[in-house]
Amino acid sequence: MKRDLHRNAAQSSERHSWIGNLRDIPWLARATSHIPPAEFGRYLIIGSFNTLFGYATFATFTALLARVMPVSYLVAILLASPINITVAFLGYKWFVFRTKGNYLKEWIRCFAVYGSGTLGSLVLLPILVAVLHYGLGMQKSAPYVAGALMTGIGVIYNFFGHKNYSFKADKTDAADSIIPKN
């Protein structure tokens, strides 16, 4: 029993020293100094689920619509986005940023962050699909690969958008939590 505790403590220490070594890199330390590690860890867990769920809905709509229209991936992104945004919003609200109240306000802000990302995807996705299709010779897989690449870009953009806008406490919210109500 004691041996297991010592081994677990040593493994934990190794993990923390590895993370500590990453923070010794000056530019990385500056870039991540304002992000609480636990919050970012929760974001990665919920974000992984959201990414899989979001890509699955995108791919499903693309496959279903490919039978009836040539650019199914553009319509698929428009159909999948409201579903994916709502699922992501709940995960981020409840598990990552852990905010209280303000469901409608935060949901609308979440739509704004994701909506701006979706507009960017609508512009970049056809270009990326064309490059993959004509430049690299990918045929039917081009929309799927392009969607996966855009997802990676979106992960970074969305974290900062949600942290700094969607789930950011208003000054009035912060003041309400400091000033006791009678």
Q: What percent of the chain has pLDDT over 70?
A: 76
Tell me what the mean pLDDT of segment 169-176 comes to: 56
Q: Two tokens at 154? A: 């979106």
pLDDT category at 71 given cuts 50, 70, 90 is: confident
- DSSP collapsed to 3 states, the chain: CHHHHHHHHHHHHHHHHHHHHHHCCHHHHHHHCCCCHHHHHHHHHHHHHHHHHHHHHHHHHHHHHHCCCCCHHHHHHHHHHHHHHHHHHHHHHHHHCCCCCCHHHHHHHHHHHHHHHHHHHHHHHHHHHHHHHHHCCCCCCHHHHHHHHHHHHHHHHHHHHHHHHHCCCCHHHHHHHHCCCC
61 pLDDT more than 60: yes
The answer to whether the predicted template modeling score (pTM) of the entire model surpasses 0.75 is no
31 pLDDT more than 90: no
Q: What is the pLDDT of residue 3?
A: 55
Q: What is the pLDDT of residue 18?
A: 44
Query: What would the pLDDT profile of 74-128 be if each residue is shown by its tens digit?
Result: 899 889 989 999 999 999 999 998 888 889 999 999 999 988 887 888 889 899 9
